[in-house]
Structure 1
């Protein structure tokens, strides 16, 4: 672990010298395993959210038993939990956002890992310390990852046992951070491509429906598009749904149509 990591907060000068650790020989296997998972996720067609949850489950499984994990994005004062293996961490993240202090905010500001031996006695963030018993976590580790689309992204780890994230554990997490970052970015990019593909498909569908209206009513493109927009507004429907109706029935939907008159597909 580098000297830049910030630690502290243990009772009576507790230095994290006790507690479960990840053996030195397991560090390379942790990194290799996350690399394999990143490649596996990249080949699947699952969405980004489920892929991130799988990634977190694998990472936490190779850390001390009971470790919770979350991925957090921090843009200005806003903090958003992308995925979490435990329900407590999103609440902890939200509290740090509202209180404007905490280990996630500090790691975001400094760009270096932040380790907490015992959140309930750590003097660095008094407001968070007072709220700590609510979340049922004691030890925390915040590991900065590569930004996702320019937004700082953090790997947040938690444990109920004091001093869980010892030096060897922090080193193992730091070794895996680069590969975890690649997996997160890859999943985000794949999700962007999926959304763009859906948007293109929708645009093609709408364009085809405009063509049908142009032919049936002898209108210009702009006039036919306005007809679809008006049908969308009057029927409180998405424009793509109106296009679906036109392409399926050859007619425009009436405001009271609920889709029951559509012919069966297949």
Structure 2
């Protein structure tokens, strides 16, 4: 990678980091990543991101065109392909010419029919329930080299950080919501039975254990009974 290319990559990564600091969806961040890949890697004609769940469900995101989504659908249908392999197994999967590619006997001829001749897929991350890959495609053979792999790896790392940060934010919001529901339910029980906070929480825990129901769900039922009681009083 030349000094100029390194500078351009560093500059674009700084811009992506600043953009990600503001409240944005994962889809918006990933769209920036795929757009930047097309800007910095000369051979890219289209790009996208594939996320694969352990249950076989998948998400095809941030496609520059509709083509990456079609290619992802093909891979999941055939259960083979570079994006799937990068997401689940290898870190970098490069195809110089799909016309001569024997690793994916069903997928390769299908993408050639769509005009795609080369590709580069880089693992984003593999978590407990989800794996992902950044996927770049070109309409000519031998479109990608070692320098392109380096650039794509840096971009994939940024995309992975954005996804993980979003998931952690969702988990935090869920935890805060659960805490609020339990607190509200404790208050209702304290008022209804004239007991203190510790006794109210013990009651919630016993109900949860006896019914084999999550504590947050028990709390929501208590809140719902209060809401129903208030509605009847209003009538």
Same fold at TM > 0.5:
yes
Name the structure where helix makes up a greater proportion of residues: 2
Matched, 1:44 2:19: no
TM-score by length of 2: 0.70
Q: Which residue of 1 aligns with 2:190?
A: 215
**Matched pairs, number:** 214
Q: 2:150 aligned with 1:175, yes or no?
A: yes
State the partner residue of 1:12. Answer: none
Aligned to 2:164: 189
Query: Which residue matches 2:81?
Result: 102
Q: Partner residue of 2:93?
A: 113
Tell me if 1:252 matches 2:232. no
Can you give the 5+ residue segments of structure 1 that lack an aligned partner in the other structure? Answer: 2-23, 231-237, 262-266
Partner Cα separation in structure 2 for residue 74 and residue 194 of structure 1: 20
Aligned positions of 1:1-266 closer than 5 A: 27-64=5-42, 67-73=45-51, 78=56, 80-81=58-59, 83-85=61-63, 86-107=65-86, 109-117=89-97, 119=98, 121-124=99-102, 125-132=104-111, 136-145=114-123, 147-149=125-127, 153-159=132-138, 161-163=139-141, 165-166=142-143, 169-218=144-193, 220-223=200-203, 252-254=226-228
- 2:48 partner SS: strand
1:16 is matched with which residue?
none
Partners of 2:56 and 2:148 lie apart in 1 by 25
> 1:175: how far off?
2.3
SS in 2 for 1:210: helix
Partners of 2:55 and 2:4 in 1: CA distance: 37
Conserved in 2, the CA contact under 8 Å of 1:95 and 1:128? yes
User: Following TM superposition, by how much is the alpha carbon of 1:110 offset from its aligned partner in structure 2, in angstroms?
Assistant: 4.5
Counterpart CA distance in 1 for 2:55 and 2:78 is: 10
User: Is contact 2:60–2:69 with CA below 8 Å preserved after alignment?
Assistant: no
- Residue 45 of structure 1, CA deviation: 1.7
TM-score, length-normalised on structure 1? 0.63
Within 1, Cα distance between the matches of 2:219 and 2:16?
Answer: 34
What is the alpha-carbon root mean square deviation over aligned residues? 3.8
Gaps of 5+ in 2: 212-216
Task: Tell me, yes or no, if the aligned pair for 1:74 and 1:80 is still in contact at 8 Å.
Answer: yes
Q: Which has the bigger relative contact order, CA under 8 A and spacing at least 6?
A: 1
